[in-house]
Structure 1
Amino acid sequence: MTAFDELMAFQRDTSALGQIAGRLGWDQETVMPRGAAPQRAEEMAAIEAVLHARRADPRVAEWLDQAAPQDEVGKAQLREIRRAYDRAVKVPADLATAIARITSAAQGTWAQARADEDVSAFLPVLEEVVSLKRQEGEALAQGGDVYDAMVEDYEPYTTGAQIAAIFDEMRPRLVALRAAVLDRPEPAALSGSFDELIQMQLAQKLAITFGYDLNNGRVDKAVHPFSSGSGLDVRITTRTSETDPFNCFFSTIHEVGHAAYEQGIDRDYLLTPLGRGVSMGVHESQSRIYENQLGRSRAFTGWLFDQMKDAFGDFGIADADAFYATVNRVHNGYIRTEADEVQYNLHIMLRFDLERALMAGDLQVNELEAAWNDRFKADFGYAVDKPSNGCLQDVHWSVGLFGYFPTYSLGNVYAGCLYQALRAAVPGLDAQLADGDTSGATAWLREHVQQHGGLYAPREIIRRASGIEPGPEPLLGYLEQKFSAIYGL
């Protein structure tokens, strides 16, 4: 075997172990008995210790020095392995293990604190998480910006300052559009009771409609919807509310976007660094374009309206046009995952600024709730009513995902660029979506984005697919055009 072959064989085993760790995480959030949490924390710590040792194994450096890839794919494999190795050797093994242990335990603590509306019960463990993650960031940054080092885990080759510049460009037009929309009469909200079993049945139908392959996946329920896995085993979760089926349906479509990306990657990349989405921003571009530009479009909501009438009978919305307005209703709310397209990115900007301050040491954990509430009141104009609608609503910080939040908005920016190109490439898109046929859109996304996995850097894959330099203008133009039409601006 050549050095390249030996390195790839070693990497496949490492990737397989990573998939096992991911399956433990899926189990913890879906079916694991609550009392198993302390043991699961030890299990996660043990497997992280093994994974860290493999990622930082000195033989990886030797193989990297000796390997001679013959093509573009081989060079990309080495690029990603080298990037992961360079990061792994900077983080002490005991620190990586401690982070795995505390974040596994913190997830359960967060879930209980959220249910109890008790921030004080969560803050001690969050303090530990923040401390350990800050240590990790300092080790990775080696004197540079700690938050930049953390963003690198989720959006390679991007800095906090670059993200802040994009957000500064977006904010004025988003705020202006929100003000104009909220000054107009609000479409009717959905009301009534919607059987949760029927919601799950329709959610599964929606998953299939958007191309999710259930031979290599499954749909379950969790407190916080997510997608897990890659290659031949890609699972999603959603959630139900008896009074809000949209939460279930659009969470499902969103997670299918993530899952379709993983299922669509070239199978030759299975269990290699290229065999997963290249970044969370590109991942979010798939979930957001599935959920919003496709799923909330006038054409597709007409089809969904008929599906809901068949499933629930008359549910108080007069026709497809009224239903489209209801689906896209801009309204006050606390929850990021339930936010309309106009206000969603403002929720992300709040989190981005707070977590950046936490990692810089400018904001202390015991100040977080007050800082969140003050910022929310300033940004949205009304007060947070309870912790589960405030700083306890998201799972991310409990599991150490600092640097992850801004990728949601980067995903929206990327989706805007992709949608502009998609509409030009598939001129019959609206007619297809009106028939509940997403194949034209999803096939284009699979060909131009999904199949490549980690072959190209994040901005490069968007540039190749869309034909333009990634930026917020297509997204902002789409939002202004869509909501001006809905609200008669």
Structure 2
Amino acid sequence: MTAFEQLMAYERDTQALGQIAGRLGWDQETMMPRGATGQRGAEMAAIESVLHARRSAPQVAEWLEQAEAPDEVGAAHLREIRRSYDRTIKVPADLAKKLAQVTSEAQGKWAEARANEDVAAFLPVLEEVVALKREEGQALAAGGDLYDALVADYEHGTTSSEIAKIFDAMRPGLVDLRARVLDKPAPQGLSGRFDEKTQMQLARTLARTFGYDMAHGRVDKAVHPFSSGSGLDVRITTRTSETDPFNCFYSTIHEVGHGAYEQNISRDYLLTPLGRGVSMGVHESQSRIYENQIGRSRAFTGWLFEQMRDSFGDIGVSDADAFYAAVNKVHNGYIRTEADELQYNLHIMLRFDLERALMQGDLEVADLEAAWNDRFEADFGYAVDKPSNGCLQDVHWSVGLFGYFPTYSLGNVYAGCLHEALRRDVPKLDTDLAQGDTSAATGWLGEKLQQHGGLRSPRDTIAHAAEMEPDHAPLMDYLEQKFGALYDL
């Protein structure tokens, strides 16, 4: 075997072990007994130690030195393995193991603190997580910006300064549009009670409608919807609310966007560095375009309106136009995952600024709740009423995902570019969507973007698919046109 072949065989085993670690995380969120948190932390730490050792093994460096790529795909494999190796050797094994253990335990403590509205109970373990992530960031940055080093884990090739520039350009337009919309009468919402079992049945129908392959996936319930896995085993979760079925249905469509991306990556890349989504920003572009530009479109909501009436009977709105307005209602609220399409990015900007300050030492954990509450009231105009609607609402910081939040809005920016290109290339899109047929849209995304996995860099992935460099202008134009028409601005 050549050095390249030996390296790829070794990498496939490493990728397989990574999938096992991911399955443990899925289980922790869906099936694991509450009392197993401590043991699961030890299990996650053990497998992280194995993964760290494999990724940083001296033999990997030798193979990388000797390997010759047979083609463009081989060169991309080597690029990604080298990037992983360079990152791994910068982080001491003891630190990687400690992070895995502490974040696993912190997740359980966060869930308990959130349920009890008790910020003080969560702060000590969050202090540990923040200290460890600062240490990791310093190791990765090697004298550079430690937050940039953490962002690179989720969106390599992008810096926090570049993200801040995009957000600064978007914020005035979002704030202005939000103010004009909220000055108008709010559309009527749904009314009634919506059976959980029926919601889950329709959620699975929606998953299949958007091309999710149930033979290689499943839909379960979780407190915080997420997707997990790649290749032949890609799982998603959703949640239900007796009074708000949109929470279930659009969480499902969102997670299907993530799941379908992973399912549609070329099987040639299975259990290789290219066999997963290239970045979280690109991943989010798929979930966002599925959920928003497709799932919340006038054409598709017309079909969904009929499905909901068939499933639930009277839902409190009389026709498809009123239903479309209800789906896209702009409303005050605290929860990021329940935010309307117009205001969502403002929630992300708040988190980006706070976590950047936390990592750079400009904000201490003890001051986080006050900083969150002050910023939220300044941005949204009303006060946070309880911790679960404030700094305890998201799981991300408990599990150490610092640098992740901005990729949600980058995903929206990317989705804006992709949507513009999709409309250009598929002129009969609305005709299909009105029949509940998403295949032209999802097929276009599969061909242009999803099948390629990690072949290209994040920016190049979007540029190749959309035939334009990533830019926030298409998203802002789309929001202005959509909500301008909806609210007669």
TM over 0.5: yes
Distance in 2, Cα, partners of 1:113 & 1:244? 24
- Please list, as runs of the form range in 1=range in 2, the aligned pairs for 1:252-267 lying within 5 A after superposition: 252-267=252-267
Distance in 1, Cα, partners of 2:435 & 2:395? 36
Distance in 2, Cα, partners of 1:164 & 1:40? 37
Letter in 1 for 2:60: V
Q: CA RMSD in A?
A: 0.4
User: What is the CA-CA distance between 1:430 and the residue it aligns to?
Assistant: 0.2
Question: What is aligned with 2:249?
Answer: 249
User: Does residue 223 of structure 1 match 2:219?
Assistant: no
Indicate the SS of the match to 1:342: coil
Indicate the SS of the match to 2:401: coil
User: Does residue 70 of structure 1 match 2:65?
Assistant: no
Distance in 1, Cα, partners of 2:260 & 2:33? 29
Question: What is aligned with 1:337?
Answer: 337
Deviation sequence 1:115-168 (CA, Å, 0-9, x none) = 111111111111000000110000000110000000000001110000000000
Letter in 2 for 1:243: T
Question: What is aligned with 1:19?
Answer: 19
Report if aligned partners of 2:46, 2:97 keep a CA contact under 8 Å in 1.
yes
Question: What is aligned with 1:422?
Answer: 422
Distance in 2, Cα, partners of 1:383 & 1:222? 28
Report if aligned partners of 2:106, 2:398 keep a CA contact under 8 Å in 1.
yes
User: What is the CA-CA distance between 1:99 and the residue it aligns to?
Assistant: 0.2
- Please list, as runs of the form range in 1=range in 2, the aligned pairs for 1:409-448 lying within 5 A after superposition: 409-448=409-448
Question: What is aligned with 2:233?
Answer: 233
Letter in 1 for 2:4: F
Report if aligned partners of 2:170, 2:472 keep a CA contact under 8 Å in 1.
yes
Letter in 2 for 1:342: L
Indicate the SS of the match to 1:218: strand
Report if aligned partners of 2:113, 2:121 keep a CA contact under 8 Å in 1.
yes
User: What is the CA-CA distance between 1:70 and the residue it aligns to?
Assistant: 1.5
Distance in 1, Cα, partners of 2:201 & 2:83? 42
- Please list, as runs of the form range in 1=range in 2, the aligned pairs for 1:51-450 lying within 5 A after superposition: 51-450=51-450
Report if aligned partners of 2:80, 2:273 keep a CA contact under 8 Å in 1.
yes
Distance in 2, Cα, partners of 1:48 & 1:29? 18
Indicate the SS of the match to 1:229: strand
Distance in 2, Cα, partners of 1:471 & 1:137? 28
Distance in 2, Cα, partners of 1:81 & 1:34? 36
Letter in 2 for 1:445: L
Indicate the SS of the match to 2:296: coil
Deviation sequence 1:449-489 (CA, Å, 0-9, x none) = 10000000000010011111101000000000000000000
User: What is the CA-CA distance between 1:102 and the residue it aligns to?
Assistant: 0.4
User: What is the CA-CA distance between 1:75 and the residue it aligns to?
Assistant: 0.3
Distance in 2, Cα, partners of 1:470 & 1:404? 19
Question: What is aligned with 1:28?
Answer: 28
Distance in 2, Cα, partners of 1:151 & 1:10? 27
Question: What is aligned with 2:475?
Answer: 475
Distance in 1, Cα, partners of 2:387 & 2:46? 33
User: Does residue 44 of structure 1 match 2:44?
Assistant: yes
User: What is the CA-CA distance between 1:114 and the residue it aligns to?
Assistant: 0.6
Distance in 1, Cα, partners of 2:419 & 2:71? 31
Distance in 2, Cα, partners of 1:468 & 1:217? 33
Runs of 4+ more than 4 Å apart = none
Question: What is aligned with 1:456?
Answer: 456
User: What is the CA-CA distance between 1:282 and the residue it aligns to?
Assistant: 0.2
Moved more, 79-88 or 190-199: 190-199
Letter in 1 for 2:170: M
Indicate the SS of the match to 1:155: coil
Distance in 2, Cα, partners of 1:392 & 1:349? 17
Indicate the SS of the match to 1:219: strand
Distance in 2, Cα, partners of 1:215 & 1:346? 37
Indicate the SS of the match to 2:237: strand
Deviation sequence 1:161-192 (CA, Å, 0-9, x none) = 00000000100110110011011111012222
Report percent identity of matched pairs. Answer: 77
Structure 1 unaligned segments of length 5 or more: list them. none
Indicate the SS of the match to 2:234: strand
User: What is the CA-CA distance between 1:275 and the residue it aligns to?
Assistant: 0.2
Letter in 1 for 2:349: M
Distance in 1, Cα, partners of 2:15 & 2:138? 26
User: What is the CA-CA distance between 1:409 and the residue it aligns to?
Assistant: 0.2
State the TM-score, normalizing by the size of structure 2: 1.00
Distance in 2, Cα, partners of 1:334 & 1:59? 50
Indicate the SS of the match to 1:225: coil
Question: What is aligned with 2:4?
Answer: 4
Deviation sequence 1:274-297 (CA, Å, 0-9, x none) = 000000000000000000000000
Indicate the SS of the match to 2:90: coil
Distance in 1, Cα, partners of 2:140 & 2:340? 36
Report if aligned partners of 2:189, 2:316 keep a CA contact under 8 Å in 1.
no
Distance in 1, Cα, partners of 2:25 & 2:467? 37
Distance in 2, Cα, partners of 1:208 & 1:98? 40
Distance in 2, Cα, partners of 1:386 & 1:29? 23
Structure 2 unaligned segments of length 5 or more: list them. none
User: What is the CA-CA distance between 1:448 and the residue it aligns to?
Assistant: 0.5
Distance in 2, Cα, partners of 1:408 & 1:393? 16
Deviation sequence 1:415-459 (CA, Å, 0-9, x none) = 000000000111110010000000000000000010000000000
Distance in 2, Cα, partners of 1:303 & 1:20? 39
Deviation sequence 1:198-235 (CA, Å, 0-9, x none) = 10000000000000000000000000000000000000
Report if aligned partners of 2:76, 2:456 keep a CA contact under 8 Å in 1.
yes
Letter in 2 for 1:81: I
Indicate the SS of the match to 1:275: coil
State the TM-score, normalizing by the size of structure 1: 1.00
Deviation sequence 1:232-283 (CA, Å, 0-9, x none) = 0000000001111000000000000000000000000000000000000000
Deviation sequence 1:306-360 (CA, Å, 0-9, x none) = 0000010011101000000000000100010111111000000000000000000
Letter in 2 for 1:251: S
Letter in 2 for 1:271: L
